[in-house]
Amino acid sequence: MDGRTEPDDLTRATVTVAWVIILNKPFYPLYVWWLVGSGVEASLGTLIATPFFLAIALLAPRGPLAARLGLPLAGAIDTIIATKFIGFSTGTLLFLAPCMMLAGLSFHRGEAWWQRGAAALVFLVFIAGYDRLGAALHAWSTAELDTLFSLNAFAVASLMAFIAIRYAGIRRDA
C-alpha cells in the first residue's frame, strides 16, 4: 500500500487551483514583457515558488489536509517573493486575498483550528510584507507601476472568481 487515497471534493478543488496556478505562472513574465516592456528579468522571480504548487498537487493523494493547508500558505510565500522581486507598488500583495479565500474555503468543519491557523498565517504574511520588503529589483516608472497594478488586480479578481466557482457547492461536513 502506497498511502494514497481518493481525494475528497475539497482536496480535488485544491489540486485544481494548484494546477491553474502552475499553468499560468510562466505567462506572467510574458505579460510584463508585452504590457510593460521592461523589468522582465525581475518578473522571472515570480516563477521561484512554482515547485511549491507542484508539490501540493502531487502531495494531495497522500496528504489531503497537508495539501489543503499548503495551498494558501504556498500562495502567501509566493506573494511575498513576487512582492520582493517586482515591488510593493505593483499590487502583488493583493494576491494574499485569494490566499485568505482559500484559507476560508479549503477545510472541513472538523478542521476549524487548521483553518484559523492558515488564515492567521496569511494575515501575518500580509503584516510582514506590507511595505517592508525594500526596493524592487527593477525601478519601474509611474506608468509601468500603473500597468502592473492593473494587471495584478485583474489577475487577483480572476483567480478569486475561479476559486469561488470551483469551490461552489462543496460540502464541508467531514
pLDDT confidence of residue 174: 62
pLDDT confidence of residue 94: 97
The residues of the chain scoring below 70 in pLDDT are: 1-5, 174
- Listed by start position, the domains of the chain span 9-167
Q: How far is CA 115 from CA 5, 43, 46, in A?
A: 22, 31, 26
Nearest to 92 by CA among 136, 56, 55, 52: 136
Q: Whole-model pTM?
A: 0.92
pLDDT confidence of residue 3: 59
